[in-house]
Amino acid sequence: MKSGLMAAEISEPYAQAIMSLAQSNNLVDQIGEDMAGILGLLKESPEFLACVESPLVGVEAKKAVLNQALGSQIHPFTLKFLLVLVDRGRITFLETFVNSFAPCCVSFRRLF
């Protein structure tokens, strides 16, 4: 079981990294919309979250689920980033990661 503090410590650098990627490619709004859509999916489909977070589901199966569920709906950068999370074993923190992105996005918008 993951603690909130541990999840936040792991998720925040990933949220900052995708924010940096979004800024450098002028995609802050697009990736922000992607994250909002992913958050909506997580709330609407606990099965989806359970699947991608399950240690019993293999890496390739998780990637296939992400590609099938989100591939045509999100920007390729966002999808590739999610696939990196799978490769690095961090997809178990998906919900925390998505929630960590919002403050980065708000901070960016305040600056510009």
Please count the other Cβ atoms lying within 10 Å of the Cβ belonging to residue 42: 17
Residue 111's pLDDT is what? 42
CATH number of the domain within which 96 lies: 1.10.520.20
Range list of H helices, 1-112: 4-24, 28-44, 46-53, 59-70, 76-87, 94-111
Give Cα separations from 19 to 1, 14, 24, 69, 72 (angstroms): 27, 8, 9, 22, 21
- Residue identified by tokens 């919002």 is 102
DSSP 83-99: HHHHHTT-GGGHHHHHH
The model's pLDDT over 41-66, given as tens digits with 9 standing for 90+, comes to 999 999 999 999 999 999 999 999 99
The model's pLDDT over 33-42, given as tens digits with 9 standing for 90+, comes to 898 899 899 9
Work out the percent of the chain whose per-residue pLDDT is above 70: 84
Domain carrying residue 79: 4-111
Mean pLDDT, all residues of the chain: 84
Residue 102's pLDDT is what? 67
- Count up the domains in the chain and report the number: 1
- What's the predicted TM-score (pTM) here? 0.80
